[in-house]
Amino acid sequence: MSEHRHRTPLRGVKVTPRPQPDDPRYTAVNYRYAGQAGHIHEVVEIGGRELAKVGFDDRKIVYYFLDDLEREDSAPKRTFHDLDREEK
């Protein structure tokens, strides 16, 4: 099992994935959500590379390399878990 470290200061930051076309590190699921706004749930470092766990409004979680995310730092921080609490 590979060692990883959790880094969460970016939790809740609004992002839009922008992977390069035909990047072999990504699957069809990554490209299906490319260009859609989501929010970072956590950032992990695996093998020296930073990956963001991005949650989308349909509750789908997709991993992207941190460098392939366009951040909207001025947007309110949230995840879909925050929306669940607001609805109660």
Looking up residue 43, the CATH number of its domain turns out to be 2.30.30
pLDDT classification of 3: cutoffs 50, 70, 90: low
H-assigned helices in the chain: 28-33, 80-87
Share of the chain above pLDDT 70, in %: 81
Number of domains in the chain: 1
The reported pLDDT for the residue numbered 75 is 79
Long-range contacts of 25-32 (CB under 8 A, 24+ apart): 25/65, 26/64, 29/62, 30/62, 30/63, 30/64
Q: Which domain holds residue 15?
A: 4-87
At residue 1, the pLDDT reads: 47
Q: How far is CA 48 from CA 24, 41, 51, 65, in A?
A: 18, 19, 10, 11
Top pLDDT among 60 and 8 is at 60
- Cα–Cα distance, 2 to 69 (Å, whole number): 24
**Interval 34-77: pLDDT, tens:** 999 999 999 988 888 899 999 999 999 999 999 999 999 887 78
Distance CA 85, CA 87 (A): 5
Q: Is the pLDDT of residue 83 over 90?
A: no
Confidence check: pLDDT of 4 > 70: no
Please give the Cα distance from 4 to 83 (Å, whole number): 28
